[in-house]
Amino acid sequence: MLPSLFLATTAATLATAHTVITYPGWRGNNLHTNEAWPYGMQWQYPCGGINLTTNRTYWPTTGGALAFQPGWFQGHQNALLYVNIGVGSDGPDGGPINMSNPLLPPFQLLGPSNGPFPGTVCLPQVPLPVNWTMNPGDNATLQIVEIAMHGASLFSCVDITFAAPGDPRIPEVNESNCLNSSDLGFANIYSVTTTPIGAAANMNVNGASSFRVAAWLGYLPVLVGAAWLLI
């Protein structure tokens, strides 16, 4: 399936890319930290601080390609990646009210270092959720969530309009806009059940005096604060 995407072209445009979602498009540059976004825009659910846009790109009704650059910030030597879709216009910005529909199982990205790194990820055929049917002209938003090593999440979106496969308005997918860099790796995510539901053990805490001390300490700052108010 892949070689057909890899036309005989150069990848020279990669170096000049300033976007995070490189295909099929991006809501806009949200790599900002400023007075309005002191923690950085991208941490803001659902789309990294950028509201719904109207300059949509076309994307196939059968699902399509998605490419992005995951390494613009430090802290992603390992990252978890989620790809979701939202539909409808019930959100406060007139977009989807949620992005709670996964398009892929989450996967892990293995980056070359914990600093910022270049490189792109290309998912050539991201499907729609099982049993979803979208029609040409329907609007939706694709969301990429990147979970950093400390558990916080970075959000980026692209607003799309569905089009029939082969519609010339769908931007071409090729090796310069959809490519897996060789310095990035991937891993599947597994979980191992250690305690099935209903089997949780509880240590006997009745005699554990440290529990009461901890609870009491929890109130202490409140009391101190109240005392200050009385002075």
What are the tokens at 92? 């406060």
Q: Which is it for the CA torsion 52, 54, 55, 58, positive or negative? A: positive
Closest distance of CB 147 from ligand NAG, Å: 17
Q: Which of 106, 116, 127, 137 binds ligand NAG (CB under 6 A)?
A: 137
Torsion of the alpha carbons at 70, 73, 77 and 79, rounded to the nearest 10:
-50
Residue nearest to ligand NAG (CB): 25
Q: What are the strands, taking DSSP E only, across the chain?
A: 21-23, 57-60, 64-68, 78-86, 101-102, 107-110, 121-126, 139-147, 153-163, 185-188
Q: How far is CA 152 from the centre of its chain?
A: 11
Q: Closer to ligand NAG at the Cβ: 9 or 223?
A: 9
Q: Are 81 and 108 in contact (CB under 8 A)?
A: yes
- Answer yes or no whether residue 88 interacts with ligand NAG by CB under 6 A: yes
Residues 33-72 that bind ligand NAG (CB under 6 A): 51, 53-57
Residue at token pair 């990205």? 109
139 makes contact with ligand NAG (CB under 6 A): yes
> Is 25 an interacting residue with respect to ligand NAG (CB under 6 A)?
yes
Instruction: List the one residue from 8, 15, 130, 224 that touches ligand NAG (CB under 6 A).
Output: 130
Q: How far is CA 191 from CA 70, 102, 137, 186, 195, in A?
A: 24, 18, 39, 16, 12
Q: In the set 92, 151, 196, 221, which binds ligand NAG (CB under 6 A)?
A: 92
Nearest partner of 134 among 83, 26, 54, 60, judged by Cα: 60
Residues in region 190-229 near ligand NAG by CB under 6 A:
none
Q: 129 or 212, CB closer to ligand NAG?
A: 129
Q: Which of 79, 85, 103, 123 binds ligand NAG (CB under 6 A)?
A: 123
Query: To the nearest whole angstrom, how small is the minimum distance from the Cβ of residue 21 to ligand NAG?
Result: 9
Rounded (5°) CA angle 91-41-11: 105
Residues near ligand NAG, by CB under 6 A: 2, 7, 9, 25-26, 28-29, 51, 53-57, 87-88, 90, 92-93, 97-98, 100, 122-124, 130-131, 137-139, 158, 161, 171-172, 174, 176-178, 180, 186
